[in-house]
C-alpha cells in the first residue's frame, strides 16, 4: 500500500511518514500531529511501532484513520471494457496477479498496457514464454500500438 503526497512533482520527506507498510517497514505518522523532531537541523522520522507487523499496521491505520485519500485524487467508477475512448484521452489498461492464468482474460483496448507483476505461478521459463506469447497476442489484437510496461516480481518485491 503506497501512500504519498506530491507537491510539484517532488516527494517530500514527510510523505514517507504516510507509508505505514509499503516497504516492509512503517514510519511514524507523528509529523501529521505536528510532533516532528529536529536534530542538528535534520528531520528525524521515527520507525513506527507496527513496523515489524505490516498486517497489523494496515489494519490499525485503516480502522483508526480511515482510508487515506489525498485531496487531489478523484475517485472514479470503472469504465466497461468495451466503452469507446473519448478523443484526446489516453486509456490505461492495468492488470496484475495473472499467475499464468491468462487464457480467460478479455483485454480491453488501451493506449498503455501495464502489468504490475505476478505474471507467473512459479517463475518457470515455460511460464514466462507462455506469458510473452499471450502478451504478444493481446497487444496486437486488443491494444494495437500500445505502450507496454512490465513490473516483474511478486507483492513483497
Give the tens place of pLDDT for each residue, 50-63: 777 877 777 776 66
Residues 17/27, Cβ–Cβ less than 8 Å: yes
Helices (H), 74-114: none
Q: What is the DSSP letter of 18?
A: T
Query: Does the structure show a pLDDT above 80 at 10?
Result: no
When pLDDT is averaged across residues 105-124 and rounded to a whole number, the result is 81
Position 35 scores a pLDDT of 39
Closest CA relative to residue 17, chosen from 60, 51, 42, 56: 51
Average pLDDT along the chain: 66
49 Cβ contact list (under 8 Å, min separation 6): 26
Amino acid at each position: 500500500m503506497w501512500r504519498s503526497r506530491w507537491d510539484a512533482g517532488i516527494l517530500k520527506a514527510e510523505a514517507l511518514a504516510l507509508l505505514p507498510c509499503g516497504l516492509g517497514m512503517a514510519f511514524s505518522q507523528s509529523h501529521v500531529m505536528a510532533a516532528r523532531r529536529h536534530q542538528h537541523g535534520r528531520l528525524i522520522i521515527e520507525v513506527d511501532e507496527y513496523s515489524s507487523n505490516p498486517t497489523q499496521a494496515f489494519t490499525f491505520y485503516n480502522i483508526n484513520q480511515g482510508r487515506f485519500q489525498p485531496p487531489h485524487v478523484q475517485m472514479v467508477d470503472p469504465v466497461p471494457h468495451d466503452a469507446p475512448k473519448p478523443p484526446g484521452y489516453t486509456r490505461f489498461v492495468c492488470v496484475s496477479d495473472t499467475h499464468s492464468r491468462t487464457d480467460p482474460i478479455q483485454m480491453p483496448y488501451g493506449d498503455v498496457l501495464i502489468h504490475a507483476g505476478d505474471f507467473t505461478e512459479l517463475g518457470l521459463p515455460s511460464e514466462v514464454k507462455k506469458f510473452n506469447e499471450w502478451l504478444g497476442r493481446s497487444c496486437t489484437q486488443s491494444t494495437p500500438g500500445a505502450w507496454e510496461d512490465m513490473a516483474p516480481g511478486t507483492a513483497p518485491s
